[in-house]
Amino acid sequence: MKRKICLLIGLCIALFSSDLFARQEMKVLSYNVLKGLQQDSLIQEEYIHWVDSLSPDIIAYEEMNGFTQKSLEEFAAKYGHPYAVQSKIEGFPVALSSKYPIVNVQKVVDNMWHAYLYANINHVHVFVIHFSPFSYKKRQQEVRQVLAHAATLPQDEKIMIMGDFNSMASSDAAQLTDAMVAGMRENERKHDHIRNLNNGQVDYSVTDAMKEAGFLDSYWLKNKTFMPSVTTKKYGKPARRIDFLWVNKSLAKQVKSSTIIHDKATDHLSDHYPVFVVLDL
């Protein structure tokens, strides 16, 4: 009898523990932090205080200028992330920090304007990207490379691709005014190295490629009204969304919330607002 009771108690504990694990949240932040939070110690300290209150489990960074692997690890430790990895030292690195071990890391610099990172974190496949700011044709090449990499992974597993795409989505087309497009045309007339328009029109091919590959825009999974990610109030008028967190179908059903954080801190910490997604794992 005692043996049966012990077995029953053990089964209840196992089921309860399993249920708790099944309802575990994972909070993910993706943030272009403007040249390493402008390499300003006061701004970095303000960011640490801000992100500590948010307590994300994973942070994907773009523009971690001025950081090394060692300084990134020290920086991440200040807000409770014992794991961190950076794509490169020079230029505009992307990076990851996490409460969980970051494993199977791949740092891809070849054929990329900046770089991208791939890793597995807590059984989720994670890509951090930062595409070209100047050429839609280069971005087309970059997204093809990232998607080809993602296609090698088991498609029934959880995959997310996030970062600064420097591209807009057709789902946001209504937000683009004639004046904004005219400004882009004028910018290209003045600067030969800038070719973001495709035959004088806004190019949606990069984000369309994400959708065609079966990825879903986490923002529109959970929202009905538009929010811009650039630029922040300090640097201009918030008007466009070029920062995304895309999920595959295996992960989409576990997106609990998705937002772009506009608050007093993010109004000036960078020229981008961060994307924040909560997953119910």
- For residue 201, the model assigns a pLDDT of 92
Q: Residue ranges per domain, the chain? A: 24-167+204-280
- For residue 187, the model assigns a pLDDT of 86
Give the contacts of 201 (CB within 8 A, at least 6 positions apart): 181
Q: Tell me the average confidence (pLDDT) per consecutive run of 10 residues in the chain, 281 residues long.
A: 53 49 82 98 98 98 98 98 97 98 98 98 98 98 98 98 98 92 90 92 97 98 98 95 98 98 98 98 89
159: left (phi over 0), alpha (psi -120 to 50) or beta: beta
Separation between Cα atoms, residue 135 and residue 114, nearest integer Å: 13
Identify the helix (H) or strand (E) that includes residue 246.
Answer: strand 243-247
- For residue 19, the model assigns a pLDDT of 46
- For residue 98, the model assigns a pLDDT of 98
Rg (CA), the chain: 20
> pTM score, two decimals?
0.91
Separation between Cα atoms, residue 111 and residue 81, nearest integer Å: 30
Comparing CA positions, the residue from 32, 51, 56, 47 lying closest to residue 122 is 56
- For residue 198, the model assigns a pLDDT of 93
Which CATH code, of 1.10.287.130, 3.60.10.10, 3.10.200.10, 3.90.1150.10, is assigned to 24-167+204-280?
3.60.10.10
Comparing CA positions, the residue from 250, 272, 265, 219 lying closest to residue 124 is 250
- For residue 12, the model assigns a pLDDT of 52
- For residue 189, the model assigns a pLDDT of 92
Comparing CA positions, the residue from 121, 113, 78, 79 lying closest to residue 96 is 121
- For residue 21, the model assigns a pLDDT of 47
Identify the helix (H) or strand (E) that includes residue 6.
Answer: helix 2-22
